[in-house]
Amino acid sequence: MNSVPIPLSKALASFDALWSPRIVTRVNDYDVRIAKVEGEHIWHVHNDTDEFFLVLDGELHISLREPDGERTVQLPRGAVFTVPRGTEHKPHAPSGAAILMFEPAGTPTVGDRHDDIPEHVDSTTGHALST
């Protein structure tokens, strides 16, 4: 846990990798992660946890496969959205975005079940932030 404030702009400027979240801090047993994203992630599911998204910059789209069919939510800068546990989803950012995620420590970015992982997607539980 950090004992000093962390400017998110400085934290985001400390790395360039896409779809490769950095852990900014921890709240109880939850990671607060930031990531730069552009293009498509993969369809995946987190069986036992919800996934919270806050768009810091740009626009994030999240496609969802729900019992009533497939839909896509569009999140502009400043918007938040929670993907419920067990919901298959695919984040994508056609023009790029910076996001903040809140999820239990150790949660894999590609979920518990997922499509094949392309080279541009980092399968991780989050990387340490080095500012």
| CATH assignment at residue 49 | 2.60.120.10
Residue 9 counted as domain residue: no
Output the average pLDDT for the chain: 92
Residue 38 counted as domain residue: yes
pLDDT at 112: 81
Total domains in the chain come to: 1
The neighbour count for residue 81, using CB atoms within 10 Å, is 17
Sequence-ordered list of residues with C-beta below 8 angstroms from that of 22, at least 6 positions apart, any chain: 11, 14, 15, 33, 34, 35, 126, 127, 128, 129
- Condensed to tens digits (0 to 9), the pLDDT of residues 59-109 reads 999 999 999 999 999 999 999 999 999 999 999 999 999 999 999 999 988
Residue 86 counted as domain residue: yes
Stated pTM of the model: 0.92
- Domain of residue 116 covers 15-125
Q: What's the rounded mean pLDDT across residues 16-32? A: 95
Residue 48 counted as domain residue: yes
